[in-house]
């Protein structure tokens, strides 16, 4: 829905989204369990949905170890 809103009407003319493949504080379960392939999927989505994209440290190394099982915090955050 968010991407649809960005591509229609006024936002399309004046707003360019900046997508990050990860955040410095939230480690989603998807990245914790999907390994390198999950990281590649997130990067592919970000690069194809916006010309502006970025990543925080550790993503390029596929770091996604959680603080504790079931938690969304990074171990070495």
Task: Please answer whether residues 8 and 53 qualify as being in contact, where contact means their C-beta atoms are separated by less than 8 angstroms.
Answer: no
pLDDT (mean) for 25-38:
96
Q: Domain limits of the chain?
A: 17-77
> What is the per-residue pLDDT for 48?
92
How many H-runs (helices) and E-runs (strands) does the chain carry? 3, 2
* pLDDT tens digits for range 44-56: 999 998 889 999 9
Question: Rounded to whole angstroms, how far apart are CA atoms 64 and 31?
Answer: 6
């Amino acid at each position: 829905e968010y991407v649809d809103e960005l591509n229609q009407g006024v936002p399309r003319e004046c707003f360019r989204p900046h997508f990050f493949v990860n955040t410095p504080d939230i480690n989603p379960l998807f990245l914790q369990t999907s390994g390198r392939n999950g990281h590649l999927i997130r990067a592919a989505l970000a690069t194809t949905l916006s010309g502006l994209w970025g990543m925080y440290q550790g993503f390029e190394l596929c770091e996604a170890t959680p603080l504790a099982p079931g938690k969304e915090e990074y171990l070495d955050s």
